[in-house]
Structure 1
Amino acid sequence: MTISPFALLLLLGTLQGFILASLLWFTRSSPQLPNRLLAVLIGLFAIASLNMVALEGGFYEAYPRIRFVMDLLPVIMAMPIGPLTWFYVRSMLEPGFRLGRNERWHFLPVLLDWVPALICWTFLIGLATHVFVRSDLKGWGDIIDQYDMYVDIPRWLSISVYVLLARNVLIRYQPAGRGPEVVQQRLKLAWLRQFLTGLQIFQVVWLLFLIPYVLPGLRPDWMGEMNWYLIYVPMAVLIYWFGLKGYLHARLSALTERKKATTTLPAETVDKAAGLLKKAMEVDQLYTDPDLTLEKLMHHTHLDQKTVSHVLNQHLDKSFNAFVNGYRIEAVKQRLLDSASSHLTITGIGFECGFNSQATFQRAFKQFTGVSPSAYLAQQTSVSVKKSAQV
């Protein structure tokens, strides 16, 4: 068993990917979700790269039983890469983002990656029950080869669509806060732009390979010699780049959090400030001001920026925008079900509760509740009707 220079490069990239994915998974930073999403994404790339090393390096020929086991397990999965990319970007930019039921539905197309393994299991079961014979193996293998050729089309489309969705999140994101907080957010945006640009470049390379792969008549002679290295060498570069840059960014975030944690305030000061902030929202209803800023909140509560930022970030675990929008969303939820507001549109209620644009209102509402305002109203109306029917 020999290994070519290209295969060696893939092997090094694979090992680097597994190491960096493990470091990302176990990095202690809050929130952990972005790091773990990126770790899974890099892990999927690394597993695919390792499989190619084993295939081209003759490992499977030397150990056919391992190849047999690999054929029965759906370890090579590309369909989750798109959703993982989108959710990674959202989890980096949306403090309240969680992988809820609606988000998990996006992973359903992974079934396309499982089809070859299911075909293998079907043949084995048929062989064990004497429905098939060993001579049928070649025909079933041809089916898998044909499937593997064309399933790359929906895989490529899926990743491309989700990268565009992630890019749209970046375009709509507006940094909030001031000083060091804004600098950190801009560094985060710069990394995410690089991350998505890297994926888009990889998609272009993949497409240039995919067209002649699916249409053999367009395939040049030199392409047969290079085989899948045209895809997997750029993938090895992505593994190393994403893993290293992602890990360094995660470490920087963790160090920033520790630095914030060292800035402590007396418990009495924290309790007093938290009470004033709560009164400003619940009693004085400052959240209804569409132009509310941190400076206005400081002026109203007679608190300095250090105290407000510390209480919000360290004790309430919220940014200024998340703190204010939380009260706005709760007010919207109440007024949607209040008959006194029936003359207003949903957007009108959002404006009266402090939002200054329909897009911001829709995005914030879905971020906090997981559904759009109209879907929430429909759900609550349905529940009320059912309760009335029971009575």
Structure 2
Amino acid sequence: MKKQKLQVYLSSGNFQGLCCIYPSNLLIPIDMLIWSYYLSGLGIMQGVLLAVLLFTRKINQKANKFLGAFICVLLVSLTEHWYQPMLPGLFSEILGGFLFLYGPLMLLYVKSLLGESLSLRNSIGHFAGFGLYILGLLAGYLLIEIEREIAELVLAHILFIHLLYYSFLTLNRIHLESRKEAFSVTYTILNWLKAFTGTLAAIYLVAFIGMYLRIMGLSASNWILFAVQTGCVLVVYGFSYWSLVQPEASRKQKEEVKYAHSGLSEPDQQILLNRILAFFTEHKPYFQPTFTLDQFARNMGTNRFYISQVINERTGKNFSDFLNAYRIEEAKRILTDPKKSHYSVVGAGYEAGFNSKTAFNTAFKKLTGYTPGEFRKLNREEVRIEQTGQ
């Protein structure tokens, strides 16, 4: 009975299919249509549960809301074959423009998960593509039929470029995070994010190929675009699994996880630590405001990962704190030296290797519990008491 209804519906020429992937001018196997309904139904049910979980979760609230919005947009595509016959053409096409939200939402999710502070002003520009699509859609109704077909083809290319561009931005942001000396999440999480973003980019590419085959009237497009639908459902289930096994994804990575696969033995660590300390004593690189971990690794003739590991595990500091500790000791020497009493507090910070007043004050208070000004004042008071004996 269900097959007969599908055949009647198909013969009417109205069936568009999931995400408009099944055009009415192609012969579509009925079994494929049935599986499409079952598959999309599973994805929709799981997606709704996942979206509710993400919007109500207390951990990583902003990141989870971006991911929840991404899942909701994906659900709009998966339910397209249900709402499309019931909505006027304009409203249906507006919902189709939600594809322009995929890339921005995924990028903002990754940025938020990695600890970036996202303001409305910084985020709103990413949705310009969707806004331009709506304006173009309204303007398209002023065109004749043939012009509209050309405009839609151009728009499809713009959408594809838009999706790949945001995939690149997202992967690049993940790559930059992995290059940091002390990043905010684990390697496992970064690999998950890379896998999800890469999978989405592959789905976009396959969908674009399917679109061209559909334009050419080839029945192979049915199978390709059915694979796209399957990929979208798998993404929903993948994110569901991710949300369950990584409930605290934004926590700082534990050092034993970070260096679990390091090939540096205990004796080698001690040797490298001795070399690091000797280099700092002899060359005093902390006087250089722009001294970096990569530069230090080149000076030492080793890689940045080993230096970071040794400093973290042997001193309990990351490279930035390790470097600033030397600078603060130098600043304390300047602030307590009677011969340099003419130095201002800021001048002492610059002399010690800091490149800004804010960085100096923040690092100094973090290590000593006092601001540089408070430290100098306390020291002078102690000197006065010693001299007067009071």
User: Normalised by the size of structure 2, how large is the TM-score?
Assistant: 0.52
Task: Write the deviation string for residues 22-58 of structure 1: whole angstroms up to 9, x where unpaired.
Answer: 211221114x222111111121111111013445xxx
Which of 111, 125, 136 aligns to 1:105? It is: 125
Fraction of identical pairs, as percent: 16
In structure 2, the partner of 1:170 is: 174
In structure 1, the partner of 2:162 is: 158
Give, in angstroms, the shift of residue 102 of structure 1: 3.4
Unpaired runs of 5+ residues, structure 1, are 124-138, 258-284, 310-319, 325-348, 356-360, 362-391
Amino acid of the structure 2 residue aligned with 1:239: V
CA–CA distance in 1 between the matches of 2:119 and 2:245? 22
RMSD, matched Cα: 4.5
Does the CA contact (< 8 Å) of 1:24 and 1:250 recur in 2? no
CA–CA distance in 1 between the matches of 2:145 and 2:51? 33
Task: Write the deviation string for residues 106-128 of structure 1: whole angstroms up to 9, x where unpaired.
Answer: 211102442576369x78xxxxx
1:1-391 mapped onto 2 (5 Å cutoff): 2=6, 4-30=34-60, 32-55=61-84, 60=85, 64=86, 66-67=87-88, 70-71=91-92, 74=95, 76-93=97-114, 95-115=115-135, 118=138, 147-173=151-177, 174=179, 176-177=181-182, 185-213=186-214, 216-217=215-216, 219-223=217-221, 226=223, 228-245=225-242, 247-248=243-244, 250-253=246-249, 290=291, 353=354
Change (3 A) 1:75 1:197: closer
Aligned residues: 254
In structure 2, the partner of 1:367 is: none
Change (3 A) 1:294 1:226: closer
Change (3 A) 1:20 1:167: same
Give, in angstroms, the shift of residue 12 of structure 1: 1.7
Secondary structure at the aligned position of 1:251 is classed as: coil
Does the CA contact (< 8 Å) of 1:24 and 1:39 recur in 2? yes
Give, in angstroms, the shift of residue 232 of structure 1: 2.4
Change (3 A) 1:240 1:151: farther
Amino acid of the structure 2 residue aligned with 1:185: T
Change (3 A) 1:176 1:36: farther
Does the CA contact (< 8 Å) of 1:27 and 1:251 recur in 2? no
Does the CA contact (< 8 Å) of 2:189 and 2:249 recur in 1? no
CA–CA distance in 2 between the matches of 1:209 and 1:110? 23
Structure with more relative contact order (C-alpha pairs < 8 Å, separation 6 or more): 1
Structure ID, larger Rg:
2
Secondary structure at the aligned position of 1:203 is classed as: helix
Amino acid of the structure 1 residue aligned with 2:113: M
Secondary structure at the aligned position of 1:77 is classed as: helix
Secondary structure at the aligned position of 2:98 is classed as: coil
Give, in angstroms, the shift of residue 158 of structure 1: 0.8
Give, in angstroms, the shift of residue 153 of structure 1: 1.2
Give, in angstroms, the shift of residue 221 of structure 1: 3.3
CA–CA distance in 1 between the matches of 2:73 and 2:219? 30
Unpaired runs of 5+ residues, structure 2, are 7-32, 253-285, 294-307, 325-349, 360-390
User: Normalised by the size of structure 1, how large is the TM-score?
Assistant: 0.52
CA–CA distance in 2 between the matches of 1:144 and 1:53? 25
Does the CA contact (< 8 Å) of 1:72 and 1:118 recur in 2? no
CA–CA distance in 2 between the matches of 1:352 and 1:207? 53
Amino acid of the structure 2 residue aligned with 1:248: L
Change (3 A) 1:297 1:26: same
Does the CA contact (< 8 Å) of 2:103 and 2:163 recur in 1? yes
CA–CA distance in 1 between the matches of 2:287 and 2:180? 21
CA–CA distance in 1 between the matches of 2:225 and 2:145? 19
Task: Write the deviation string for residues 125-155 of structure 1: whole angstroms up to 9, x where unpaired.
Answer: xxxxxxxxxxxxxx86776665444422111
CA–CA distance in 2 between the matches of 1:201 and 1:145? 26
Task: Write the deviation string for residues 270-325 of structure 1: whole angstroms up to 9, x where unpaired.
Answer: xxxxxxxxxxxxxxx999694798998999xxxx96xx99xxxxxxxxxx88xx8x
Change (3 A) 1:286 1:50: farther
Does the CA contact (< 8 Å) of 1:44 and 1:78 recur in 2? yes
